[in-house]
Structure 1
Amino acid sequence: MGHAVVIGAGIGGLAAAVALQQRGWEVTSLERAPSIEPVGSGLSIFANALKALSVLGVDDQVRALSAIRGVGGVRRATSGRWLVHMNEEAAAQHGDPVVLLRRADLVEALAARLKPGTIRLNTTVTGADPDTGRVTFRTGQEGHDNGPGGTGEVTGDLVVAADGIHSPIRAALFPDHPEPRYAGITAWRMLVPGHGVPGQTFETWGSGKVFGYMALADELAYCYGTDAVPAGGGGGDQREELLRLFGGWHDPIPALVAATPPANIIRNDVYYLPTPLPAMHRGRIAVLGDAAHAMTPNMGQGACQAIEDAVVLAHVAGQEHGLAAYTAARLARTAKVVARSAAICRVIRWRNPLAVRLRDLGVATTWRLAPHLLTGPLDDLLTWTPPTGDDSDGGGLQNVINLRSLPHTGEDG
């Protein structure tokens, strides 16, 4: 194998670097931040991503670090009554329940699998040529005491753009493609010490708002809230804002917000890519994770799909058809997840009282009488399996790719 340059050391970029090194690639990872410590939040890892993590050799470690989801579902805002109540057996019907952990724990587990010196921090990529694989960068950060900066370049036989939702590399590769769109919701994420109840999780729907609770290990809880408000807000005391939004909701939501240290609250507007890219590669460059298919958080699949991307990319890179096979295996699948997640997001943004009552009644009735209508769309998502087989036959991809269906990108990569 040759030399791969991975742009970005988030979960997708780290997973790609690990997967490529395992398959014999020399890997250089370029990260603009001064460290790879992520913002404080929790993460759901579903059965499909656990299978991908097993390829990377970290699935058992993730389970050991995680709080395994026992029961969960969707509740009403004021009464707390369950609209959907999923037991442990239903949650584990695809071989694994959802496991919950701090994002930082998964980042650390992946980074520990890399060879020393793989990651270059304080390195901002300024350009990447899809024809030659030449990547240019500058080192150091303005406003940080990181020593003298400079510029440099590195060339890869493969370049992986895992540089996030507002990816400059994606914009350069596909300049006519629509930019990420505001999903209509702002999200708050918070870690609450001392409030984790093992095995418990829930999401509560209200009028235009959602509040979620996930118990992590070590008596830590991860909570999140969303509200359908215009983009660009913020400022002020975010805990007070959350108490205003959720203080009248069912227990223990007000207590969770009140117990959150203000420094543990992160506010972000939510953006996604509603229009699929024409391809997930061009020339030597593969686009991965949020850079390729940013989605709303409503299905908990953002990191999961990035990990899938990484395992598939490492399997096909360097083979016949190479990156074209990566696009063929990943584009339609990820586009479907983006669309489904966005559809859920639109429903939970409803504010009209009648619409909200009808939504809640419809969800509760469907769960009671025909639960498969709600869980069925998850089947093809969670039953995904990683590619297998030797390099000569494309492994497990042979049944899911159709190279002739791809838009012409000028080359197979």
Structure 2
Amino acid sequence: MTSPTEQDRRPYAVVIGGGIGGLTAAIALHQSGWRVTVLERAATLEPIGSGIGLAPNSQRALDVLGLGDRVRELAAWEGGGGMRAQGGRWLVRTSATAATEEFGGALVLVHRATLVELLVRALPADALRTGVRAELVDPGTADGRAVVRADGMDIEADLVVGADGINSAVRSALFPAHPQPTYTGFTAWRLIVPTPDRTFEPHETWGRGGVWGTHPLKDGRIYAYATATVPEGGHSPDGEKAELTRRFADWHDPIPAIIASARPEDILRNDVRHMSTPLTHYHRGRVALIGDSAHAMAPTLAQGGNQAIEDGVVLAHHVAPGSDLAAGLAGYSAARVPRTTAIVRQAARAARMNHLTSAPLIAVRNELIAAAARLGPNLILRSFASIADWRPPQRPYAAGTKFAQR
């Protein structure tokens, strides 16, 4: 198979993986002047039934693509929320107003399927190919194009983007000796259920050896997640709903009601792994890695998808058509490796803190969090500032939004 560049003078990029990071990169590259094809192994883009929190940093990246305001319109909650202890005591209360004052915007929680649909609509109609098995054959050089094999046929490309997730075959092809992601020590459950009969404030609860989060979606449903310190590879013999009931049904309301309302088939369980040994760069030849392929992280800061979105926008900035690709990819790595490595490590530290099992240490932790919150309403938020304050290198395409210009 020959590259479409034989009929089109624009440089040609192949994105391997049609997740959030891959789609974002494809849109950003397309808007900057690349011809793009996204190769996705799944027959259809049906994201897992879970939510994703889009923080102010990724919203600014989406502003570059003209999508930020559409995402903000999906915000389901503009009131309060915060962090609670296992018994229900509020340790920290936050608000959308406080987050907006601190960062220029608040967290927007959306269903992953909603975000993917929004991204797909921003792509050219012929850019996405599903049900395609793709592998990197040759990363290319300054003088020779990269080669991707898709369903047994070779495609030449000026740029390849590896967005194929935590088990990235592209990463393994580029850096075969690099250690694979390792188990964080905890597993995660995710579920979406109908809204309980009564209202409640969004919250994340830190208990003994685990975390529970409950957040409303725009469509009226509830996205909930839980984590617990367990051996790797485990599954409950009587089902994950029974496991959640054993672990969390004695926690504060509305957690028991949410578990009770879940259908067993709607509960997802996955061991959480991360790149405990970071890559020193995210490119080789004509190939760049983004998202979990480059820097898989624990979900404790809710930044995995956010950083993938940042990656896609920053990559497009550095590899503009007509520029020196080798220099651009080096610039991409220089921009992204320090930031994402720091966030991977910060997420790991947060995971150790919110999965404590010692009752005395938990009591001390909770008192320190509550004391910090009493010192100032925005003090806890400011600990997130180095992440949420990020600005993209490009000017936003979303003309004139006050948020984008902050």
> TM-score normalised to the size of structure 2?
0.89
What is the percent sequence identity of the aligned residues?
Answer: 45
Find the counterpart in structure 2 of residue 136 from structure 1: 149
Displacement after TM superposition at 1:389 (Å): 6.6
Give the residue type in structure 1 aligned to 2:22: G
- Between 1:373-382 and 1:122-131, the stretch displaced more is 373-382
Find the counterpart in structure 2 of residue 382 from structure 1: 388
Matched, 1:344 2:350: yes
Choose which of 67, 78, 82 in structure 1 pairs with 2:90.
82
Cα separation, 1, equivalents of 2:194 and 2:375: 38
Find the counterpart in structure 2 of residue 279 from structure 1: 281
Displacement after TM superposition at 1:155 (Å): 1.3
Superposed CA offset, 1:240-288 (max 9, x none): 1111111101011000110112221100000000222110111100000
Find the counterpart in structure 1 of residue 404 from structure 2: none
Choose which of 100, 105, 129 in structure 1 pairs with 2:109.
100
Which ranges in structure 1 are unaligned for 5 or more consecutive residues? Answer: 139-150, 391-413
What is the SS of the residue equivalent to 1:123?
Answer: coil
Matched, 1:51 2:52: no
Cα separation, 1, equivalents of 2:119 and 2:200: 25
What is the SS of the residue equivalent to 1:92?
Answer: helix
Matched, 1:22 2:35: no
Distance 1:197 1:327, change over 3 A: farther
Matched, 1:126 2:135: yes
Distance 1:310 1:356, change over 3 A: same
Structure 1 residues 192-271: aligned runs within 5 Å: 192-195=193-196, 200-235=201-236, 236-271=238-273
Give the residue type in structure 2 aligned to 1:92: T
Give the residue type in structure 1 aligned to 2:387: L
Give the residue type in structure 1 aligned to 2:177: D
CA RMSD of aligned residues (A): 1.8
Cα separation, 2, equivalents of 1:88 and 1:344: 22
Equivalent pair of 1:165/1:294 in contact (CA under 8 Å)? yes
Distance 1:273 1:382, change over 3 A: same
Superposed CA offset, 1:178-209 (max 9, x none): 11010111000000123397893100011101
- Between 1:65-74 and 1:219-228, the stretch displaced more is 65-74
Cα separation, 1, equivalents of 2:18 and 2:197: 29
Find the counterpart in structure 1 of residue 6 from structure 2: none
Find the counterpart in structure 1 of residue 189 from structure 2: 188
Distance 1:226 1:129, change over 3 A: same
Cα separation, 1, equivalents of 2:62 and 2:116: 12
Structure 1 residues 299-338: aligned runs within 5 Å: 299-318=301-320, 319-320=323-324, 321-338=327-344
Cα separation, 1, equivalents of 2:120 and 2:197: 26
Equivalent pair of 1:199/1:215 in contact (CA under 8 Å)? no
Find the counterpart in structure 2 of residue 409 from structure 1: none
Find the counterpart in structure 1 of residue 3 from structure 2: none
Displacement after TM superposition at 1:373 (Å): 5.4
Cα separation, 2, equivalents of 1:196 and 1:326: 48
Equivalent pair of 2:163/2:292 in contact (CA under 8 Å)? yes
Choose which of 370, 373, 382 in structure 2 pairs with 1:367.
373
Equivalent pair of 1:69/1:199 in contact (CA under 8 Å)? no
Superposed CA offset, 1:28-81 (max 9, x none): 111001111100001100101111111112222212233145322110112x11
Which ranges in structure 2 are unaligned for 5 or more consecutive residues? Answer: 1-9, 397-406
Find the counterpart in structure 2 of residue 146 from structure 1: none
Matched, 1:64 2:73: yes
Cα separation, 1, equivalents of 2:353 and 2:393: 34
Cα separation, 1, equivalents of 2:133 and 2:197: 38
Superposed CA offset, 1:283-321 (max 9, x none): 100000010111111111111111010001011114331
Cα separation, 2, equivalents of 1:263 and 1:309: 33
Cα separation, 2, equivalents of 1:277 and 1:197: 47
> TM-score normalised to the size of structure 1?
0.88
Distance 1:64 1:358, change over 3 A: same
What is the SS of the residue equivalent to 2:133?
Answer: strand
Find the counterpart in structure 1 of residue 400 from structure 2: none
Give the residue type in structure 2 aligned to 1:153: D
Superposed CA offset, 1:215-263 (max 9, x none): 1112100000111001101143211111111110101100011011222
Higher RCO (CA-CA < 8 Å; seq separation 6+): 2
Equivalent pair of 1:66/1:99 in contact (CA under 8 Å)? yes
Give the residue type in structure 2 aligned to 1:374: I
Cα separation, 1, equivalents of 2:72 and 2:379: 29
Displacement after TM superposition at 1:117 (Å): 1.9
Matched, 1:109 2:122: no
Superposed CA offset, 1:123-153 (max 9, x none): 1123342123100122xxxxxxxxxxxx212
Displacement after TM superposition at 1:168 (Å): 1.1
Cα separation, 2, equivalents of 1:13 and 1:268: 21
Distance 1:107 1:196, change over 3 A: farther
What is the SS of the residue equivalent to 2:383?
Answer: helix
Cα separation, 2, equivalents of 1:282 and 1:198: 51
